[in-house]
Amino acid sequence: MTQTFTVQFRNSPDLGVLFVHHDDKIKVLELWNRRNLSCGEWDSRKAYRNVYIDHVGLDCIKKLTVRIFKKDDKQLVLEYSNITSKKLEDYLRSKPDRATSDTWNDTRVPLPTDKYLVNEGNYEFRWLNQNGDRIFAALYYDSSADKFPKFYYSKEKEGAENTEPDTQDHSDMEDCHDIRVSFTVKIMLYHTLLSCCCLSSLFDSTKPASDQGWCQVNSGSEGNYEFRWLNQNGDRIFAALYYDSSADKFPKFYYSKKEEGGENTQPDKKDHSGMEDCHDIKVTFTVQSIAKCITDNVYNSIHLAKCPDLKPPTVTSIDTTYTIDIETDIAINCKHDANKDPVTKVEWLFKNTLNSYGVQYFINTELAKYGGSTVASPSLIIYNFMPEDIGKYT
């Protein structure tokens, strides 16, 4: 038989793990992705990041919530319950399980056909409808602006008409104050499930049929004793569980009447006057609650420091006109200063000036045609320069 225990779970708490004010000059996703950085204060004045993001296990997170706030505590709330990653952009590029706003008459159900765009141009995040002509929310970053980043959400449940709120009219969008991200943490209770197949005779005086998978514990050197507690020398006994299928009544249970133990260490075969001949045995468990998912230091201010100055890198590439011979190599110079915010990638754009389209596109520096364009060597090298390579490089 199997003993089953019902366990009551306490309410799961919300732990704030990220806060970005609208003029902190910090990219939301960039601050999230910096590992082992605990900084700021969880309030309306400073950016905040908790290292709990880095160290919590996925099995501890019940829900991730993103809140875009106005000053008067009006907010758009996006909730994600399918916890498969600790990268915030993985959630923002997927459908929220629930979206609520104080400005909408009722909950707007996010659709799988909606567009959830991450890291496109200056927008860290945009949520558009299926046709891409209405917008529900946006995170905007522009290092050239006086105040950045900027956060918006639609005043209307069906979305706003201007899908680029920072470059178009955004009168139908809420211009927000900050963004906050929290984990809803599971309270995980640890308990033991007791499998009693090997002790089923303790609850039934009839021997089970052989086809019922009857089993015994310690049926080897201990013979018919399922359990014995002896002293160090093995010459005195404190307790025993005895089983003998040939007896009329089995099993039998004993414990010593004396603190120092009984003298006959096999009470069912010898005189057991020094032992209590018992009626039954009962097994119980004390269930202990362990909130393994919450650390004592989650809100401990001694672990917090000022957020680093996450200003964007300074890129220097002087406008220069190069005159070279066809089928020769050229290096277009560039350098950067990381401003304490490490540069992770260098990209070059090319615009062909010899055709009427003038389309600008990213250069694929993995091709043998190009060299450089790395963090260590940011200058672009063009090998075997040809007429179709004439244009503007940035």
In a domain, 302, yes or no: no
Residues 135, 178: one domain?
yes
Contact assessment for residue 66 and residue 43, using Cβ atoms and an 8 Å cutoff: no
In a domain, 57, yes or no: yes
Of 25 and 239, the one with more pLDDT: 239
Residue 173 DSSP class:
E
Residues 131, 6: one domain?
yes
Per residue in 25-68, pLDDT (tens digit) is: 888 998 898 887 788 766 556 788 888 888 888 888 889 999 99
* Cα 110 to the center of its chain, rounded Å: 21
Residues 42, 126: one domain?
yes
Of 356 and 60, the one with more pLDDT: 60
User: What's residue 129's pLDDT?
Assistant: 94
Residues 172, 24: one domain?
yes
Of 352 and 46, the one with more pLDDT: 352
Could you tell me what percentage of the chain is helix, strand and coil, using 3-state DSSP and rounding each to the nearest 5?
Answer: 10, 30, 60
Contact assessment for residue 17 and residue 50, using Cβ atoms and an 8 Å cutoff: yes
Of 7 and 265, the one with more pLDDT: 265
Radius of gyration of the chain (CA): 35
**Residue 117 pLDDT > 80:** yes
User: What's residue 59's pLDDT?
Assistant: 83
Find the domain containing 267 and state its range.
210-278
Which pTM was predicted? 0.54
In a domain, 194, yes or no: no
User: What's residue 95's pLDDT?
Assistant: 95
Residues 58, 160: one domain?
yes
Number of domains in the chain: 3
Domain boundary among 260, 278, 296: 278
Residues 261, 166: one domain?
no
Residues 89, 123: one domain?
yes
- Range picked from 15-19, 76-80, 231-235 for highest mean pLDDT: 76-80
**Residue 343 pLDDT > 90:** no
Residues 247, 377: one domain?
no
Region 212-229 average pLDDT? 60
User: What's residue 9's pLDDT?
Assistant: 42
Three-class SS of residue 11?
A: coil
- Give the number of residues written for the chain: 394
Contact assessment for residue 160 and residue 134, using Cβ atoms and an 8 Å cutoff: yes
Region 334-359 average pLDDT? 71
Residues 77, 220: one domain?
no
User: What's residue 47's pLDDT?
Assistant: 82
Per residue in 154-170, pLDDT (tens digit) is: 998 899 999 999 888 88
**Residue 269 pLDDT > 90:** no
In angstroms, rounded to a whole number, what is the distance separating the alpha carbons of residues 43 and 300? 15
Phi, psi of 387 (to 5 degrees): -55, -35
Contact assessment for residue 349 and residue 306, using Cβ atoms and an 8 Å cutoff: no
Residues 100, 171: one domain?
yes
In a domain, 245, yes or no: yes
User: What's residue 288's pLDDT?
Assistant: 45
Tell me what the pLDDT averaged over the chain comes to.
Answer: 77
Residues 159, 13: one domain?
yes
In a domain, 296, yes or no: no
In a domain, 271, yes or no: yes
CA distances from 305 to 47, 297, 339 (A): 10, 14, 18
Buried b / exposed e along 305-337 (16+ C-beta atoms within 10 A)? eebbebebbeeebeeeeeeeeeeeebebebeee
Cis peptide before 149 (omega within 30 of 0): yes
Of 394 and 196, the one with more pLDDT: 394
In a domain, 89, yes or no: yes
Per DSSP bridges, beta strands 173-176 and 150-154 are antiparallel
Percent of all residues in the chain with a pLDDT value above 90, rounded to a whole number: 21
**Residue 271 pLDDT > 60:** yes
In a domain, 255, yes or no: yes
Domain boundary among 278, 306, 330: 278
Domain boundary among 278, 298, 332: 278
Residues 105, 227: one domain?
no
Tokens of 380: 């672009």
